[in-house]
């Protein structure tokens, strides 16, 4: 156990003895890369030629008119290759893997976005790739499994526990312990043992750096509030990092309110009262757990927010008051998504739609002289089945039934 990597009372490095050497190696490689200005330049170059960076900021003119309050701006992380901010982290870690001379990558995935992004990175860099995914998620996210396999990854369905994300993480750690010499674990969010929260936040900080510059160029001032959804916390850490030293900018993290904070069926660790501090999966943070430390079942319409823990850095920023945490319910989120699609032609992922839902609650209370910024962390192509179900689209159901008939024939 190491004292390093603490953010206030949260974080740390709670590791089995056998992994300590691998983490020391990773920490050294990361520190060297960070100290080398050519590394960030190589990262920016890669992202500008492979993933549409810098992503633009879009003025949501129609939504602004609709709500009649603050001017609404949207940071377009949905325009990244593979459709989400996840690309920033995986491509950055890919460059680190090259520096460390390893040849194989593994990852966990829930919604499948991080799995697809990792498999894409592995295809580009020529790494062998294995993705761990809960059996339930494999069934829910077949299109993403299809693409991971086409990209050359081996997808391993995890049958332990609740057969979802936390079980996939445990399985990925088990693999890493056995194959440390050749393998790097590409953790997908700003969680886990040190130095992962810092590594992931470092690569995602490209969002905040750009957003700050773009707001100043476009509006001549910074936004009054910045909204981001919070699963593990990587897109939030990314965009917030551009504004941490600006007391005039309020940072708002939006968690999954599921069926409501009183229902018990949600994934609000910091905005709700159901979570408590504990140690699991190698780090200390707020977890949705029972009195005996057993992890509870969480719920969200957005698979990417449906997680028991939260970034230790955000847990600390919650405690210091640097970030305000709110929760949006499934119903509010699907409504916000539908409105954004119809009014702006933007198609935010269900995860990102949490940030939109909260911003929509607050925009009318602000002055038209104020600007607010929403991070659109991803696009909703992956959510087509869930969104079609939420709206009970009869033509979509007919299409699926017809496809099933074709396969049966
Ligand atoms: C589009 C999108 N946004 C947000 C998230 C949540 O992750 P994080 O909190 O690490 O940004 C996910 C996770 O899968 C995602 O796919």
Give residue-wise pLDDT tens across range 268-287. Answer: 999 999 999 999 999 999 99
pLDDT of residue 197: 97
Atom of ligand 1 nearest to the CA of 191: 10
Confidence of residue 99 (pLDDT cuts 50, 70, 90): very high
Report how far apart, in Å, the C-alpha atoms of 110 and of each of 96, 118, 159, 169, 243 are: 23, 13, 14, 9, 29
Catalytic-residue membership of 108: yes
pLDDT at 1: 35
What pLDDT does 331 receive?
A: 96
What is the whole-number distance in angstroms between the Cα of residue 231 and the centre of ligand 1? 6
| pLDDT tens by residue, 345-365 | 999 999 999 999 999 999 999
pLDDT band at 3 (very low <50, low <70, confident <90, very high): low
Q: Which residues lie below 8 Å from residue 202, measured CB to CB, with a gap of 6+?
A: 30, 34, 92
DSSP for 5-57, please give it: EEETTEEEE---GGGHHHHHHHHHHHHHHHH-HHHHHHHHHHHHHHS-PSPPE
The angle at the Cα of 177, spanning 175 to 182, to the nearest 5 degrees, equals 80
124-133, 216-225, 296-305, 373-382: the lowest-pLDDT one: 296-305
Judge whether 155 and 122 are in contact, CB under 8 Å.
Answer: no
Cα 345 to Cα 108: distance, rounded to the nearest angstrom? 32
User: DSSP alpha helices (H): ranges in 241-349?
Assistant: 312-320, 330-344
When mean pLDDT is compared across 291-305, 342-356, 365-379, the lowest value belongs to 291-305
Residue 138 DSSP label? H
Which pLDDT band holds residue 162 (cuts at 50, 70, 90)?
confident
344 flagged as catalytic? no
Enumerate residues 6+ apart whose C-beta is below 8 A from 286.
Answer: 269, 270, 275, 276, 277, 278, 309, 310, 315
Rg (CA), the chain: 20
Is residue 113 within 6 Å of ligand 1 at its C-beta?
Answer: yes
Q: How many residues does the chain have?
A: 409
The share of the chain scoring above pLDDT 90, in percent, equals: 90
Quick one: average pLDDT of 317-325? 98
Structure tokens at 123: 């295809």
- Ligand 1 pocket: which of 205, 271, 302 to mutate (most atoms within 8 A of CB): 302
Q: What is the mean pLDDT of residues 295-322?
A: 94
| 148 has pLDDT over 90 | yes
Q: Minimum mean pLDDT among 118-122, 300-304, 316-320: which range?
A: 300-304
Q: Which atom of ligand 1 is nearest to the CA of 237?
A: 11
What is the pLDDT, as a whole number, of residue 123?
98
84 CB near ligand 1 (under 6 Å): yes
Any atom of ligand 1 within 6 Å of the Cβ of 232: yes
Is residue 86 part of the annotated active site? The answer reads yes
What is the rounded CA–CA span in Å between residue 315 and residue 233? 10
Give residue 2's pLDDT band: very low, low, confident or very high (50, 70, 90).
very low
Supply the pTM of this predicted model.
Answer: 0.97
Query: Are the C-beta atoms of residues 87 and 123 closer than 8 Å to each other?
Result: no
361-384 as b/e, with b when 16 or more CB fall inside 10 Å? ebbeebeeeebbbbbbbbbbebbe
């Amino acid at each position: 156990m190491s004292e390093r990597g603490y953010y206030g009372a949260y974080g740390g490095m709670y590791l089995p003895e056998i992994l300590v050497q691998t983490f020391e190696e990773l920490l050294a490689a990361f520190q060297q890369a960070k100290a080398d200005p050519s590394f960030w330049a190589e990262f920016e170059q890669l992202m500008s030629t492979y993933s549409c960076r810098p992503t633009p900021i879009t003025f949501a003119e129609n939504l602004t008119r609709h709500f009649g309050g603050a001017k609404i701006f949207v940071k377009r992380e949905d325009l990244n290759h593979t459709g989400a901010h996840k690309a920033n982290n995986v491509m950055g870690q890919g460059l680190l893997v090259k520096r460390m001379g390893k040849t194989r990558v593994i990852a966990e995935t829930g919604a499948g976005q991080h799995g697809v992004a990792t498999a894409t990175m592995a295809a580009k860099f020529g790494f062998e790739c294995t993705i761990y995914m809960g059996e339930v998620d494999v069934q829910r996210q077949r299109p993403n499994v299809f693409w991971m396999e086409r990209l050359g990854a081996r997808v391993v369905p995890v049958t332990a526990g609740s057969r979802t994300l936390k079980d996939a993480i445990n399985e990925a750690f088990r693999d890493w312990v056995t194959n440390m010499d050749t393998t790097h674990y590409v953790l997908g969010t700003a969680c886990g043992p040190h130095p992962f929260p810092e590594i992931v936040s470092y690569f995602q900080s490209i969002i905040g750096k750009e957003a700050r510059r773009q707001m100043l160029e476009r509006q001549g001032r910074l936004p009054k509030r910045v909204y981001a959804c919070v699963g593990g916390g990587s897109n939030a850490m990314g965009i917030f990092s551009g504004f941490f030293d600006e007391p005039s900018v309020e940072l708002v993290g939006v968690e999954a309110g599921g069926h409501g904070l009183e229902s018990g069926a949600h994934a609000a660790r910091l905005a709700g009262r159901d979570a408590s501090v504990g140690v699991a999966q190698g780090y200390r943070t707020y977890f949705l757990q029972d009195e005996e430390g057993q992890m509870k079942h969480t719920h969200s319409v957005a698979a990417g927010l449906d997680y028991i823990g939260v970034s230790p850095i955000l847990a600390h920023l919650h405690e210091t008051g640097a970030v305000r945490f709110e929760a949006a319910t499934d119903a509010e989120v699907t409504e916000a998504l539908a409105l954004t699609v119809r009014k702006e032609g933007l198609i935010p992922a269900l995860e990102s739609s949490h940030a939109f839902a909260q911003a929509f609650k607050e925009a009318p209370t602000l002055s038209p002289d104020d600007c607010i910024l929403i991070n659109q962390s991803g696009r909703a192509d992956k959510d087509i089945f869930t969104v079609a179900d939420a709206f009970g689209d009869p033509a979509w159901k007919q299409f699926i039934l017809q496809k099933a008939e074709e396969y049966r024939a």
